[in-house]
Amino acid sequence: MAAKIPFVRDMTFEYGAPAQLSPLIRRVVANNPGPFTFRGTGVYIIGHSEIALIDPGPDDPTHIEALKTAIAGERVSHIFVTHRHLDHSPAARPLSRATGAKIYASGVAPRFSEDDFVAEAGDDLGFKPDIVVRDGEAFHGPGWTLEAIATPGHTSDHMCLALKEENALFSGDHIMGWSTTVVSPPDGDMEAYLASLDKVRARDFSTLWPTHGPPVSEVGAFIDAYRAHRMEREAQIVARLEAGQTQIMDMVAIIYADVDRRLYPAAAHSVLAHLIRLVKMGRVRCSGAPALNSIYSLAS
């Protein structure tokens, strides 16, 4: 194993208490820690007096009250949602009602899975933005500019938001400092995910602010390692095929030999995401559409 991702996990915060993190950025952390949310959902508040919110978080009354207290006396002009997962979007509607602000998101419709596997925190199936945001669209408030950057991969609807004045990116679950992100088909797409990593890398941001965990400051090196980790995984899958293995669960047992078996369903979906990409590239053959129990082989 070569690529080591320089994870960042140290985070000082108090649940529900707003903290000023930079001249334009405040954060309130929701008390929903877990295996996919790390310490909890970090809701970002952008600007002063006329403000925007990014990823309002779970529909938890205590959390929503804490947010309302944090922004009391200020006008909310935009509520942005990076993607429709349950730890990101459900508080958008109650906050919209309370503040009158509209909800902005990519609006891309999800691709549903025929199996019951729930990747991550689960989908917020009822989520619908008021305003559908286009890639590259900019939004302004006093002293701040946010640009939407479409970053499909983790989910088909994922978008990040760039804060121009601080050359910073709110990276949602696309890039997280504490962990790799889940890419689980059919809504997750490895090819789109890698392209979205490249898209963000090219922008040369100074700081990434993920929805979970602390910021990433060595952005270029971090994304390079993050990407290298995926390519290494893909090389391991190709090596399994070269060794004559044809099924995902057999590959998982070897590639993830040192991982808790309870994570095998998630690992299998990640391997499937790579295999779908390899089939599209013509490097791997599959009988029928790639699925968890398909038979795979290297294309000669």
When the beta carbons of 173 and 187 are compared against Zn ion, the nearer one is: 173
Site for Zn ion in 147-176 (CB under 5 A): 173
Q: Are 31 and 40 in contact (CB under 8 A)?
A: yes
CB of 204 to Zn ion, least distance (A): 25
CB of 215 to Zn ion, least distance (A): 18
CB of 238 to Zn ion, least distance (A): 28
Q: Are 121 and 86 in contact (CB under 8 A)?
A: yes
CB of 83 to Zn ion, least distance (A): 6
Q: Are 166 and 22 in contact (CB under 8 A)?
A: yes
Q: Which residues, listed in sequence order, are joined to residue 213 by a DSSP beta bridge?
A: none
When the beta carbons of 51 and 133 are compared against Zn ion, the nearer one is: 133
When the beta carbons of 157 and 173 are compared against Zn ion, the nearer one is: 173
Q: Which residue has the tokens 């270029």?
A: 220
Total of residues contacting Zn ion (CB under 5 A): 2
Site string for Zn ion, 38-77 (x = CB under 5 A): ----------------------------------------
When the beta carbons of 78 and 85 are compared against Zn ion, the nearer one is: 85
Site string for Zn ion, 103-132 (x = CB under 5 A): ------------------------------
Q: Which residue of 63, 78, 85, 277 would you call a contact of Zn ion, by CB under 5 A?
A: 85
Closest to 189 (Cα-Cα) out of 158, 235, 148, 145: 158
Q: Is the Cα torsion angle 187, 192, 198, 204 positive or negative in sign?
A: negative
Residues that bind Zn ion (CB under 5 A): 85, 173
